[in-house]
Amino acid sequence: MRALADHLGNMPSIDADSGASRSVAVVGAGITGLVAAYELRRRGVNVTLYEASGHAGGAIRTTHADGFLAEHGPNSFVTSAPVDALLQRLDLQDDVVEANPGANRRYVVRHGMPLPFPLTPLAMLGTKLLSFRAKVRVLMEPLIRARRTPDDESVASFVRRRLGHEVLDYAVDPFISGIFAGDAETLSMAHAFPRVAELERECGSLSKGLMAQRRQRASDDPPPTAHQGAMTASPPARARLISFVDGMQTLPAALEASLTGTLRLGCPVRLVHRHESRWTVEAGPDGAARSRTVDAVVMATPAHVLAAMELPAALRKFAAPIERVEYPPVSTLTLGFRRVDVAHPLDGFGMLIPHTEKRSLLGALFSSSLFPGRAPDGYVALTCFVGGARQPERAREDTDLLVERVLSDLRQLLGVRGEPEFAQHVYWSRAIPQYTVGYQAVKDAADITEWQNPGLYLAGNYRHGVSVGDCVASGIQVADQVAAYLARAG
């Protein structure tokens, strides 16, 4: 971290109260807003980062207790060029931990049995996860004619059409739960999995497209994002699945440390107004809000927050589709057990449970198998997810009932005995944005809103992808756009 401090000491900066023209307000200190603020500061811009809650990181939240490390939001993420560059700038390479190589193995439950998800064509032919009929249907995929109509299609419709309903139920639906806590019937193929949808458009079939991709892998193609990696069943070749020795919070903590004097915690933005060619932001706790005029504003909050804010008419006019983006609730439960009390080898990333299996649990990550230091010696840690778009009411249940329901599933599926030695529960009332059919209206609304309001930028997981890696890229991209705008504005 010393190198970071030295590096920051050399950064040009503009005095916050000097009235200098290059000042920017970033709203929301989730990973998107933190990265945007950090990158703007690095470019010499005077930034104020407003965060409504008392801590930075948004959905990224790690806690340590009784020798366990609990991740209440993301557990890991997939690297990409922008992520690697950021880690290098923050001098975090030595804190990175790569997922255990065995993490490629993912279990999917069928008829109450966790079965390894097939990762190769040969394994697909031998798997018990799909019936003989379903395998024949998969082999016929190259013969299915590509859809030529441009209208949006749900993930369920796309997969049923190309691969059959069993692949939807046992190979795609569980991954949709794992990434979006979503519903394949309502998610848009083009927006939730753009590169898979492209395979059909460009190559006529997924099999042909995947073969072409494999041939290209040796070239310098950018790796797919986390969700595309999951859709193709394993992370792409050169991308790494990572976390940090002390958990995911390391990333927002390093960004926060580099933003001293910039970050205002417990400071919700309530009003954003255009004032001639500049912007006024009113922020602060009840009765103590203060105004500040800046040259540009980056809104890096969840989409629904815009609905609760006082905004100029020109912004409100087009923002309606953004405000309506759905974020279903999710509960995460981190449970610790004595190793001897779990019969399953826990040799992989985790277990996903298709909706058709009718369980409370969406899935469980084998956290202590994935990364070192997640549980004390002789213990294991599981991160369990409940709720999402298919069973929102389940996520809202109280902790005791949730633990009881999850334990019942874990006993039957993983051979867990006895009671957990450790339990932590976090309820996310609005967890992950759903890229539903018709999502182009949200993307268009964001584009038009920015176009109609020069100096105002919208960023975050509802716009450019939900994974942590997507949000890092979104933060860097918006910082570039703002810096270019400030340079144009003189």
Ligand X SMILES: Cc1cc2nc3c(=O)[nH]c(=O)nc-3n(C[C@H](O)[C@H](O)[C@H](O)COP(=O)(O)OP(=O)(O)OC[C@H]3O[C@@H](n4cnc5c(N)ncnc54)[C@H](O)[C@@H]3O)c2cc1C
DSSP E strand boundaries for 341-455: 350-352, 361-365, 379-387, 422-428
The H or E element that residue 180 is part of is helix 173-180
Cα 284 to Cα 256: distance, rounded to the nearest angstrom: 19
Q: Binding mask 221-260 vs ligand X (x if CB under 6 A, - otherwise)?
A: -----x----------------------------------
CB of 248 to ligand X, least distance (A): 8
* Bridge-based pairing state of the strands 278-283 and 46-50: unpaired
Q: Does 33 bind ligand X (CB under 6 A)?
A: yes
Q: Which is nearer to ligand X, 74 or 236 (CB)?
A: 74
Kindly state whether residue 428 participates in binding ligand X, applying the rule CB under 6 A.
Answer: yes
Please state, in angstroms and rounded to a whole number, the distance separating the CA atoms of residues 471 and 319. 20
Dihedral of CA atoms 393, 399, 402, 406 in degrees, nearest 10, equals: 140
- Our finding on whether 25 is near ligand X (CB under 6 A) is no
CB closer to ligand X, 31 vs 190? 31
Interface with ligand X (CB under 6 A), residue total 37
Closest approach of Cβ 327 to ligand X, in Å? 9
Shortest spacing between CB 449 and ligand X, in angstroms: 17
**The token pair that represents 325 in the structure block:** 């983006």
Q: Which lies closer to ligand X via its Cβ, residue 138 or residue 346? A: 346
What is the crossing angle of helices 31-42 and 250-257, to 10°? 30
Decide whether 163 or 309 has the Cβ nearer to ligand X: 309
Segment interacting with ligand X (CB under 6 A) among 57-65, 233-241, 286-294, 438-446: 57-65
327 contact partners, CB below 8 Å, separation of at least 6: 302, 303, 304, 430, 431, 432, 433, 434
**Is there binding between residue 138 and ligand X (CB under 6 A)?**
no
Per CB under 6 A, the segment of 114-122, 134-142, 301-309, 447-455 that binds ligand X is: 301-309
CB of 232 to ligand X, least distance (A): 16
Please tell me the distance from the alpha carbon of residue 332 to that of residue 406, in angstroms, as a whole number: 11
Residue 233 falls in which region: left (phi positive, over 0), alpha (psi -120 to 50) or beta: left
Pairing of β 46-50 and β 62-65: unpaired
Query: Is residue 32 involved in binding ligand X (CB under 6 A)?
Result: yes
The stretch among 31-39, 116-124, 202-210, 318-326 that binds ligand X (CB under 6 A) is: 31-39
HEC string of 297-344?
EEECCCCCHHHHCECCHHHHHHHHHHHCCCCCCEEEEEEEEEHHHECC
Q: Is residue 406 at the binding interface for ligand X, with CB under 6 A as the rule? A: no
**Cβ nearer to ligand X, comparing 176 with 305:** 305
Return the range that interacts with ligand X (CB under 6 A); candidates 127-135, 154-162, 467-475, 479-487. 467-475
Q: What's the token pair of residue 464?
A: 């450019």
The interface with ligand X within residues 62-91 (CB under 6 A) comprises 73-77
Interface pick for ligand X out of 22, 23, 24, 30 (rule CB under 6 A): 30
Answer yes or no whether residue 337 interacts with ligand X by CB under 6 A: no
| Four-residue CA torsion sign, 335, 337, 342, 347 | positive
Interacting residue with ligand X among 167, 306, 471, 478 (CB under 6 A): 471
CB of 125 to ligand X, least distance (A): 30
Report in angstroms how near the CB of residue 476 gets to ligand X at its nearest. 13
483 binds ligand X (CB under 6 A): no
Residues with Cβ within 8 Å of residue 446, at least 6 apart in sequence:
322, 458, 463
Q: Is 300 in the site for ligand X (CB under 6 A)?
A: yes
CB 434 within 8 A of CB 442: no
Query: Where along the sequence are the contacts to ligand X (CB under 6 A)?
Result: 27-33, 50-53, 58-60, 73-77, 226, 268-269, 300-302, 305, 330, 332, 428, 431-432, 460-461, 466-468, 471
